[in-house]
Amino acid sequence: QVQLVESGGGLVQAGGSLRLSCAASGRTFSSYAMGWFRQAPGKEREFVAGISRSGVYTYYADSVKGRFTISRDNAKNTVYLQMDSLKPEDTAIYYCAASEDSLGYRTAGYKYWGQGTQVTVSS
């Protein structure tokens, strides 16, 4: 199995940027497709972005396309989420997750989850 620890969350003004990191330990990191999800208060957890095992393929939710960028460094066992042009509606707890299956957007497809990091965007 793999353990995931997110970092990089915080408070930022609208229009600002944050970079989230997710460090993995355990089994070979490159064996997993990785994803970022978020959950706002009173809402269901939703897919944000995903990246294939090699990093060649990426997939984004329409709400973040063009503003967020997912990347990974398999040598460092880390996946990143660069968030630019942040909006108040991006406020949520952000989770990284690992999938033993191919890249996907369904929560059920991800077996391992981090504890989450809070992102708050003020207007």
pLDDT classification of 104: cutoffs 50, 70, 90: confident
Task: Count the Cβ atoms, other than its own, within 10 Å of residue 106.
Answer: 10
Q: Return mean pLDDT, the chain.
A: 96
pLDDT classification of 40: cutoffs 50, 70, 90: very high
Distance CA(80)–CA(49), nearest Å, equals 10
Residue of 20, 12, 19, 35 whose CA lies nearest to 87: 12
Span 55-76, pLDDT tens digits: 999 999 999 999 999 999 999 9
Task: Taking residues 33-62, report their average pLDDT.
Answer: 97
Provide, rounded to the nearest whole percent, the portion of the chain with pLDDT above 90: 89
